[in-house]
Structure 1
């Protein structure tokens, strides 16, 4: 296997799991600390119907864009629920391959922080992101740029449901990779993934509170309509175009 093929331990491990070929755990690593990343639970196990009923109530509908769609767990459910195109976006070609193999009609390889490179203006009525990758949109500037790009690829009556960690909670401070951060409303988390002898790039997350998101939305054509917590440190924010 060439070096260029061994730069995505995260995607490779999930792809291998799907094919029943996973040889080692997928490790989430920070220095000497490591936790096994639960592939089956996070990317393949079904979610309760109530989760999707809540998203229906939020106004999700097609055309819909799923950011960081993983192995396509949610995209497949959206395809069943909505009459129109549903697109799963992933930077990993292994995960795009996995989504297509699992029956996702439209799986696109691309960067959620460069949406204008992959999609046209006003292409989507709804956007969904589950997996806390929003924390990679380091506030304030990159977050505002992301929200502006999100507005560009969505219609004037769009809704977006995005999740994140709340860095001002005890639960966040217990997560692997947590670092102290004096910035009000913003946290700091560093980690990488390892699979077999493949080491992924270091990921720098700057999770932020709902209030930080509200401030960023104020100048980016969005409003935060609702915030709901699934536990003490994880929340979903429902955004509507302003």
Structure 2
């Protein structure tokens, strides 16, 4: 399967990237900021880093770990596993010193991990929006409950489609369903076009409703700007 996204990030790490990684929706094109998004090390004195540390513990599972930025930070504190569907990104994590880099699908966690394997989970990068339709979000949360302990926490992020600034996101589409939106785009690198990605931005309220019957409660919501938020889930 074509993977321009993972290949471009791997090439950047190896200093072999000669062309930009582009995000595209029709005629709208943006250059994806690889260095800022994936290679900007976490600062232990940063307020948001301290906020994350206070809510995560080991063993930690980092979903959609990218180039391993967060795994590298947290593995110095407790056992941390980085999960990626891209073989290129798994290679990149290992080359960068990630001790536990695993290839797998975040939407099929029981196929990769045993029950009660992790005490906390982090998913930063709005990959949660790829859980669609609505029942798949519930299935994901149920799978997340399966691979975590009874007192686990999960920190997940997404975009709030009701925020006015969400309209500025590349590929954003409105949805008549309350609390929901769409975001459609694909990546291109060196003439290689990736699959079209359909994200579902949703409000914290939609996530709260999806938690019902999955073993999770929405305990806290923290906004980093008007439209981007982190949600903290706790086991009931």
Q: What is the root-mean-square deviation of aligned Cα atoms in Å?
A: 0.9
Q: Which of the residues 48, 59, 70 maps onto 2:66?
A: 70
Unaligned 5+ runs, structure 1: none
The answer to whether the 8 A contact 1:128-1:161 is kept is: yes
Secondary structure in 1 matching 2:67: coil
Secondary structure in 1 matching 2:76: helix
Deviation at 1:218, TM superposition (A): 1.7
In the TM superposition, what whole-angstrom CA distance separates every residue of 1:102-159 from its partner, at most 9, and x where no partner exists? 0000000111001011100000000000000100112520100000000000000000
Q: TM-score, normalised by structure 2?
A: 0.97
Superposed, 1:1-242 pairs within 5 Å as 4=1, 7-49=2-44, 50=46, 51-58=48-55, 60-82=56-78, 85-242=79-236
Unaligned 5+ runs, structure 2: none
The answer to whether the 8 A contact 1:67-1:130 is kept is: yes
In the TM superposition, what whole-angstrom CA distance separates every residue of 1:177-235 from its partner, at most 9, and x where no partner exists? 01121110111110000000100000000111000000011221000110010000000
The answer to whether the 8 A contact 1:119-1:153 is kept is: yes
The answer to whether the 8 A contact 1:225-1:240 is kept is: yes
Q: Give the number of equivalent residue pairs.
A: 234
Alpha-carbon distance between aligned partners in 2 of 1:52 and 1:34, rounded to the nearest angstrom:
31
Secondary structure in 2 matching 1:80: coil
Larger proportion of helix: 1
